[in-house]
Amino acid sequence: LYTAPDSCQGRCEEPYHEEDECHCNAKCERHHNCCEDYHTHCSPEGFSSSHDAIMDEDLLHISEQLYHADHNRAKPTDIAINPQYQVSPDQTGDQEDHSPEPLYQYVNEELFSKPTYASFIKLLDNYQRATGREEDVTAEELREQDNFLKEVMKTELMKKLFTFLHKKNRYDSEQEFVADLKEMWFGLYSRGSGEQDSSGFEHVFSGEVKKGKVSGFHNWIRFYLLEKRGLVDYFSHSYDGPWNTYPDVLGMQFSWDGFYKEVGSAFIGSSPEFEFGLYTLCFIARPGRVCHLSLGGHGLSIQTYTWTKSTYGNRRNYIATAYVISS
């Protein structure tokens, strides 16, 4: 299912990336850096044909499709932000509040009544933010997970993503895709000492606190709702994306209940299904590596990491984290 970094399954003729553990194109034999299963998968009679590989051009094309299918994104009149002070990259750890005003001056909260937003927001209070504390998942919370997946799968964006992954032989059916989404994003694993205390969704979208620092927390809706309640204090930003509309991208410094986040990158104004879909795409296509995309003609990259200490199903990996980076 996954293009595992140490395997050629689904990666035959994938372009060379220096960060890859091993390689699966025709030149790897000459350079003695092929993955061990190169001949199993990439020889003419191999299991995984080259047309199943997700090439860099495929990612640029499908990400543009997903960008244009994000019909639920905020309009320019829906959000007004006030980024204020920009710090240099070497100042992000200073923990100084350079911005006296909130980041969000205005958000049209009618956005939050859209089904994907409403079902997403219901998930945000389902988690203990401190790592090392066991998550107690109720029947209602499981229903909320299922409802969110049901709502996002109604969107054109997620249907396009499934169609792309289906053509690449990653999933046989939409039912299989949804079942895997639930495991990879909501399946619990331990960031502490064996407690089932974390999941990809909690880390990326809701945020966690580990060793006195904010961990994860890459979502604009979560940030806005907590800032409105006085629980998040915006300090500064170190990166502002090239867009003059939404989704924008900010790399932010902030305090959450006194816990500091040195760089919390986030899309601003995108729909929940947009982030969920892009992170899923990159986790499946480039797990543990930089995933280069094109959004509205602008180049942008997403970094994902797999959780390597436990697996589900047939040795599939959970999402450890996913976030947008500037290049």
Question: In the chain, what are the domain boundaries?
Answer: 1-44, 56-325
Q: What CATH topology corresponds to 1-44?
A: Factor Xa Inhibitor (4.10.410)
Contact 114, 74 (CB under 8 A): no
How much of the chain exceeds pLDDT 70, in percent? Answer: 95
In this predicted model, which residue has the larger pLDDT, 175 or 26? Answer: 175
The string of pLDDT tens digits covering residues 197-251 is: 789 999 999 999 888 899 999 999 999 999 999 999 999 999 988 787 888 999 9
What integer pLDDT is reported at residue 1 of this predicted model? Answer: 45
What integer pLDDT is reported at residue 327 of this predicted model? Answer: 55
What integer pLDDT is reported at residue 44 of this predicted model? Answer: 58
What integer pLDDT is reported at residue 127 of this predicted model? Answer: 83
The string of pLDDT tens digits covering residues 238-250 is: 998 878 788 899 9
* Buried b or exposed e, range 215-253, using 16+ CB within 10 angstroms: bbbbbbbbbbbbbeeeebbbbbbbbbbebeebbbbbbbb
- Assign residue 86 a region (left: φ > 0; alpha: ψ between -120 and 50; beta: otherwise): beta
Is omega for the bond preceding 76 within 30 degrees of 0, making it cis?
no
How does strand 259-268 pair with strand 248-256?
Answer: antiparallel
Q: CA-CA distance, 220 to 199, in Å (whole number)? A: 19
In this predicted model, which residue has the larger pLDDT, 269 or 54? Answer: 269
Which amino acid is present at 64? E
Of 1, 5, 59, which is closest to residue 302 (Cα–Cα)?
59
The string of pLDDT tens digits covering residues 109-143 is: 999 999 999 999 999 998 877 777 778 889 999 99
Would the pLDDT of 147 be above 90? yes
Would the pLDDT of 15 be above 90? no
Would the pLDDT of 47 be above 50? no
Average pLDDT over residues 305-310: 86
Average pLDDT over residues 316-320: 90
Q: CA-CA distance, 26 to 272, in Å (whole number)? A: 39
Q: Which residues pair with 104 in a beta bridge?
A: 81
Q: How many CB atoms lie within 10 A of CB 26?
A: 13
Phi, psi for 313 (deg, rounded to 5): 55, -135
pLDDT-derived band at 48, boundaries 50, 70, 90: very low
The string of pLDDT tens digits covering residues 255-297 is: 999 999 999 999 999 999 999 999 999 999 988 888 999 999 9
pLDDT-derived band at 2, boundaries 50, 70, 90: low
List residues with catalytic annotation: 203, 218, 261
What integer pLDDT is reported at residue 316 of this predicted model? Answer: 85
Contact 291, 56 (CB under 8 A): no
The string of pLDDT tens digits covering residues 66-107 is: 999 999 999 999 999 999 999 998 899 999 999 999 999 999
